[in-house]
Structure 1
Amino acid sequence: MPFAVYVLGLAVFAQGTSEFMLSGLLSGIAEDLRVSLGAAGLLTTAFAIGMVIGAPITALAGRTWPRRRALLLFLGVFVAAHLVGAVTSSYAVLLVTRVAGALANAGFWAVALVTALAMVAPHQRARATAVVVGGVTVACVVGVPAGAALGEVWGWRAAFWAVALVSVPAALALWAAVPGGRPDGVAPGSARGELRALARPRLLLTLLVMALVQGATFCTFSYLEPLATRVTGFGSGWMPLVLALFGVGSFAGVTLAGRLADARPDAVVGCGMVALAAGWAALALTAAHPVAVLALVLLQGALAFGTGTTLITRVFHQAPDAPTMAGSFATAAFNVGAAAGPWLGGLALGAGLGFRSPVWVSALLMCGALAGAGVLAGSSGRVRGTLTARRSPVPGR
């Protein structure tokens, strides 16, 4: 695996810390800015919306740029947004900085994925994807708990300053390791042609399944802090450990998926989604039991990110003639779920359904994902049957 792929994972670590760290800072932000817990949760939704909008737009805008230049530009905007967010006392300004940071993050993701895949052989694509996505899981293991700890000691603003500082060595490493031109040495194809290739029904259904899986993940993860402290009974000092367990599970899931996804993607996705649906329901039922919560947080992290990584690889497999835009659509689908999940969880909380309600919403979203996967499996069987019939000799000929 080229060293530059690991550098891309390092940069994703810095940005992933920002995307996930609010789950441990919601109460502090709500109190400091005098907004409701649901409004604080919308900061996660705003980031996800920025990712959804930004992924295809920035991919189209930057598809002809030298990739190192594009990566450094997006990372620079991301850092600037966090510096402004760290000093503002306005909820509205903070909301805007989350969207701006997300737009930059989306552009970075779109370029990083296609850059990583262009550097490896076809049989290593799942591993390369796992390395890049693995930066997010390392953020869950190290960055997010560290951000929660900083927020506990020095306030939530300290976590924003930390993200900006961690991005500096990532930028230096990118400058040193990523080639200045296009790694594949090939000019991009027609943007219209790539967009047309992404309109295939099976690919769109795969993207919908991705969105539902990630919606389930983010719905619970965004409100994990109030669930753990107000239902399970953990003190606020336990939150870094709870978040770290989710991150450890995520890293394990991504690592395992990177080794299995090329050979057995159907098994990874099918088993992962069934287990996720059951796991979210189990977490809702056992939320008052600390040992069960810790075990399920670890397990659900592994299942969510292992399944999500495999689905990203499937998108590239289903769109081989749209390499530039496939990553942006996968990023957008991922973050449609990341936006919808916290929003739906906030609606459940706002309706007075209790702190377990976001977890039940996650279970329902996974039921929708399973239904979509069932349609995909059925259509895949019909396609294989049609191809077999076409290839079979005609009797009597």
Structure 2
Amino acid sequence: MKVPFNDLTWQWRHIEDKVRFDFERVFASSQFSSGSFVDAFERQIAEWLSVPHAIAVDSGTSAIHLALIAAGVGAGDEVLLPAHTFIGSAWGILYIGAVPVFCDVDEETGTIDVEVARRLVTSRTRAVVPVHLYGQPANMDAVLSFALDYDLKVIEDAAQSIGATWNGRSTGSLGDLGCISFYPGKNLGAAGEAGLIVTSNDSYADRLRSLRNHAQSERYVHAELGFNYRMDGLQAVVLAHKLPLLSAWTKRRNELANQYITKLKGLPLEVPSVRHQTHCWHLFVARTPSRNSLRDALSKSGVETGLHYPVPLHRQPALSPYVKPDAAYPVSERWADEGLSLPLFVGMTDEQLDYVVRVVAAFYR
């Protein structure tokens, strides 16, 4: 049996006819960059997320960049973030000349360890970026309490967690600003690059809408340094047709994840634990010291897997100037060295999952 790591064609088949019709509307109206289709999607997803403002942009990385600017973080300021995450979490910090300060992560969830973050606060610390890793929320009660103690802005990296909640609220809506990615492989994926910033702050929202469009206060009048970070109409159409299906897709992801947890029980590998509220299972990452050998065995049996993320931020060459010589990140390194992402996608069958489990069990036998 061949089991892909993901299969986006399954999603396309469920929206194809409606999307093709609306693509024709986009071309007929020439609403390619921003425009009415993007405006409509912003209203739709703001309602879905129960947030006052949803600002569409061209990627999750751009979302973090603009969110930091809107929050008032600037050159020389320090921003706390987990060492175990995709590098996009850090790029926006560097884009504005701020200093990333890497924190080790929680052993069970891989999300930011707030007690470690507390020890790294200095007079220059201005913000914290909790990453809701693999679809599981960071401990937002702890993050928000910590931020209040030190007067820090909270910018949620919810790139992987649309559909997850904390105390009944969507991830991304709890901090000052939240950033979501619609990269094609995400739970709600576009047909290219796209992202979103959410906030309850009216002034932040107004500034973000200006910043993404060359910082125009009015046509051809630019109030400050701006950026070309607009979402295009075609991406908005795809996302608008997928969004009504997302709750059912998230339910199916939970069913698959629970099957994995039950059927892998007793084998010598660590399966994910759901510790913080609801999980949307963007990825199912098991851990084992035999990661590379297990991955090879799965590949030989036709099962595709992923590595998220084998090189933590403190080991990235581009970020080496920001790593203190005596810094240690043992938990992040374990996640990086042992984590293996098993196939889990909407459209995956129970038979495919059972086959993956059989291959894993045979490897350990």
What TM-score does the superposition give when structure 2 sets the normalisation length? 0.29
What TM-score does the superposition give when structure 1 sets the normalisation length? 0.27
